[in-house]
Amino acid sequence: MSLENFMSDAISPWMKENGPDCDIVMSSRIRLARNFENRTFPLIAKAEDLDDVLDFFQESYQDADFNDRGKLQFLRIADLSPIEKKVFVEKHLISPHLAEHAEEAGVLLSESEQVSIMVNEEDHLRIQLYLPGFQLRKALSEAFEVDDWLEQKITYAFDEERGYLTTCPTNVGTGLRASVMMHLPALTMTHQMNRLTPAINQLGLVVRGIYGEGSEAQGNIYQISNQITLGKSEQDIVEDLESVVSQLVEQERQARETLTEELSIQLEDRIFRSYGTLRYSRIIESKEAATCLSDVRLGIDIGYIQDMPQSILNELMVLIQPGFLQHYAKRSLSGRERDVLRASLIRERLHLENN
């Protein structure tokens, strides 16, 4: 496979489009948790019950047309190779939990990979909808369309008092997890994230790294999401998150301005050193690569580096993950082999831009 083809595989088609504030907000995601009314939740359900659910999805939705999104594809996770599973996780199409419970799990994907519906995750359905940039409200209304469409064939577990009933008490009510992926290099460099994170937590929002709970902010990318799902409408949840994200966008812009004004030459030096590392290194670990990519992306955003697309960070952040490297190599690789392949793929990718 050529690198170009492989790259186009590495990022979902929806990610190639630009969205509002996409210099800072990389993507917006809405997730809705839903369950069947009369079935035991996946956590303790018998294998045959879970198979029933998979069969139902296969029959009802394989190749179904959903509005203008083209045909949906239903995949059983058990049919994926271990490396493919990793790739799906690294592309955020499925959760690590789903990959681990592969025997009875599935995923329904839209062509652009913008809609992914996980089946038999912790809940029977986890509807995920992604949009590029900062577009939470639009993502919510589109996720509702998917929800309404699925509901034509499924009776959801719902209670007037408690709302949508979920396996975990932390999801009950709306079942909604709204989140954004933000690139916050200037706030991190100026050590402001340490101060901001507790303040954000106090507002009932969660801040974490790019690959989920407990993961550190690789490449200065943070995921910010709501925690409360009960007692607030979906619109209010999304608006509350939006207002915090808007403030963060503003603060990041200010921090970038301050940095370029006061530390111009140091910042430029750091960015170009990172650029050099990516262009010329022969061995690179994922953590270093992520840090350098973040610097280069910042360099593109503030105009130090030209003729390089912003999307390079989104692309390469996925590409440098272990699953993807092995997918590319079509075999499993040792740590050192991965570091060598990572360096060489990054060099080639940057080279593509300079031709």
Partner 1 sequence: MECQECHIRPATLHLTNVVNGQKTEMHVCEHCAKENGYVSYGQEGYSLHNLLSGLFHMNPSTVQGHKHFSQAPAALACPKCGLTYNEFTRIGKFGCASCYETFEDNLNPIFRRVHSGNTKHEGKIPKRMGSGIEKKRKIAAYRESMQQFIQEEEFEKAAELRDKIRLLEQQSDEQEEGDS
Q: Which residues bind partner 1 (CB under 8 A)?
A: 35, 37-41, 43-44, 122, 144, 147-148, 151, 155-170, 172-174, 176, 204, 228-234, 236-237
Return the structure tokens found at 229: 């799902």
Nearer to partner 1, 16 or 232 (CB): 232
Residue 290 annotated as binding? no
Give me the long-range contacts of 257-261 (CB less than 8 A, separation at least 24): 258/186, 258/190, 259/186, 259/189, 259/190, 260/302
Least distance in Å: CB of 174 to partner 1? Answer: 4
**182 annotated as ligand-binding:** no
Q: Which amino acid is at 251?
A: Q
Task: Give the nearest distance from C-beta 200 to partner 1 in angstroms.
Answer: 15
Smallest distance, partner 1 to C-beta of residue 114, A? 21
DSSP letter for each residue of 162-178: TEE--SSTTTTBT-EEE
Identify the residue whose tokens are 């499924």. Answer: 154
Buried b (16+ CB within 10 A) or exposed e, 311-338: bbbbbbbbbbbbbbbbbbeeeebeeeeb
Residue 212, annotated as binding a ligand: yes
CB of 342 to partner 1, least distance (A): 33
- Residue 153: CB minimum distance to partner 1, A: 11
The annotation status of 276 as a binding-site residue, yes or no, is no
**C-beta closer to partner 1: residue 147 or 301:** 147
Phi/psi for 58 (5° steps) reads -55, -50
**Do strands 221-226 and 205-209 pair parallel, antiparallel, or not at all (unpaired)?**
antiparallel
Length of the chain: 355
In the bound state with partner 1, the residue whose beta carbon lies nearer, of 38 and 355, is 38
Say if residue 162 carries a ligand binding annotation. Answer: no
DSSP characters for 44-70? T--HHHHHHHHHHHHHHHTT-B-TTS-
- Rounded distance between C-alpha atoms, residue 225 and residue 207, angstroms: 7
210 is in an annotated binding site: yes
Residue closer to partner 1, measured from CB, 81 or 227 = 227
Is 39 assigned to a binding site? no
State which residue, 12 or 166, has the beta carbon closest to partner 1.
166
Task: Output the known binding site for ATP.
Answer: 27-31, 92, 126, 177-181, 208-213
Task: Output the known binding site.
Answer: 27-31, 92, 126, 177-181, 208-213
